[in-house]
A = this chain, B = another copy of it.
Amino acid sequence: MNRNDIRIGLFGFGVVGQGLHTVLERTPGLRARIGRIGVKDRTKARNLPAELFTFDRDEVLDDPTLNVIVELIDDADEAYRIVTGALRRGKAVVTANKKMLAEHLQELIELQRETNTPLLYEAAACASLPVIRNLEEYYDTDLLEAVEGIINGSTNYILTAMHRDALTFAAALRKAQELGFAESNPALDVEGLDARNKLVLLLAHAFGLVARPEDILAVGITGISDLASSYAREKGLVLKLVAEARRLPNGGVAAAVLPTLVRPEHELARVQDEYNGLITQSNFADRQFFLGKGAGAVPTASAVLSDLSALTYGYRYEYKKLHQESTLALTPTDAEADVLVTFGAEHAPDRADFSAIHEYFHSQELGYYLTGTIGLDQLAQAAWLRLPGISIVRLPTPLRAVTTAPASETGPVVRAAWATDEAVSPL
């Protein structure tokens, strides 16, 4: 299908959809226009002629005058039906729906091959920052060791507002929603699930590893305690929600989304507001850092636009690394992290889950904390992590292969003979 002239069937006319309409009007160079818009809500007033809109999905998908489908709706299940329906009809698709993509990635890769039809989704990770295409194209000859980043603009906006402007979590979240940075279901953001979905996409393009979201540990920022905040302040560390995927020496990959204390000189410490930042570590190019707006209608729409432009010259993801290294897999049992766990008098973490305890602290006023080393798998399965009053943040050391030697970066190791009953009693 010739895509020199793009006639778009657009699904969804929320902030990003309207943003796309705006940027298309300001981009005369790209010969693309919106031919039809599929929407759900029959009552909403819209600022475009009524005949552009339809409530019937198939009316858009079956329209032979439309050659590209742009899917910008919230509902991941409906998005899946739209995207697969479009690909099966040989219509190229651009989508920003990371939840839908992460949940069906393997199938969508196969469907692109079967139908010989491209599906692009630069806007699904880091909005305007060209991370997917760079991982796919530019690093295809370089061996990536790690990708690590702040890839959810909403939580970063919230954490920045809490830290810099001393807002409460609730007030910061409300502000993020007002500015259009938050998902309509904020739980996706604040529980780290949106970042996890994006990490699934990064894993595919960075390492050729197609993971299921549920196989990746994700801890959000809702449970961050005052004690954890005090700890960060005292040590001069900055709290960020960090997604990380790292090759392990044994050939596996460790991946997690965790609230993380980062050192002030670390690139990610300076990622503010709704910005996203991604660090790549590779054999030849070494360490690289990309910073840009990770949320917002216009930056997200600009990534959609860039995908539309790429379609005009026949671009598609080749998923090259999927074929290069078919043996890479997530190996959480081989990976560990250093963490700070804060808790109250009622519930304590299970000491047996930790391979080392480094510090233990109790204050009558603030409660308890411990720092220690724990396997990624142990952490994922720890029932205590879901008990009220317990929360964790990662300390500023990378994910790493399980070692017997304790980490040196978190201070002297206090291999205290610390029993669970001691933990819940004041020191």
Query: What is A's interface to B at a CB cutoff of 8 Å?
Result: 23, 26-27, 29-30, 128-130, 133-134, 137-143, 267, 270, 282-293, 298-299, 301-303, 305-306, 308-310, 313, 318, 320, 324
Contact = CB atoms under 8 A, between A and B. Distances in A.
Contacts of A141: 23, 27, 29-30, 302, 305-306, 308-309
Contacts of A310: 137
Nearest to A289: B291
A288 B128 contact: yes
Nearest to A308: B141
A26 to B, nearest CB: 7
Given A130-B138, A134-B130, A141-B27, A287 B292 contact: yes
A309 B138 CA distance: 9
A393 to B, nearest CB: 24
A313 B314 CA distance: 11
A59 to B, nearest CB: 28
Nearest to A138: B130
A24 to B, nearest CB: 9
Contact of A292 (B30, B137, B285): B285
Contacts of A128: 284-286, 288
Nearest to A27: B141
22 contacts: A23-B284, A26-B143, A27-B141, A29-B140, A29-B141, A128-B285, A129-B285, A129-B288, A130-B134, A130-B138, A133-B137, A134-B134, A141-B306, A284-B302, A284-B305, A285-B293, A285-B303, A286-B293, A288-B292, A288-B293, A289-B290, A290-B291
Nearest to A310: B137
Contacts of A23: 141, 284
A164 to B, nearest CB: 13
Contacts of A142: 27, 302, 305-306
A286 B299 contact: yes
Nearest to A26: B283
A206 to B, nearest CB: 14
A140 B313 CA distance: 12
B293 A287 contact: yes
Q: Which 4 A-B pairs have the closest CB atoms?
A: A284-B302, A128-B285, A288-B292, A289-B291
A129 B299 CA distance: 22
A141 B305 CA distance: 7
Nearest to A275: B287
A302 B139 CA distance: 9
Contacts of A270: 270
A119 B135 CA distance: 22
A291 B305 contact: no
A263 to B, nearest CB: 13
A270 B290 CA distance: 14
Nearest to A325: B29
Nearest to A282: B302
Given A137-B306, A285-B293, A291-B291, 18 more contacts: A27-B141, A29-B141, A128-B286, A130-B138, A137-B310, A141-B309, A270-B270, A282-B302, A284-B298, A284-B301, A285-B292, A285-B299, A286-B293, A288-B293, A289-B289, A289-B290, A289-B292, A290-B291
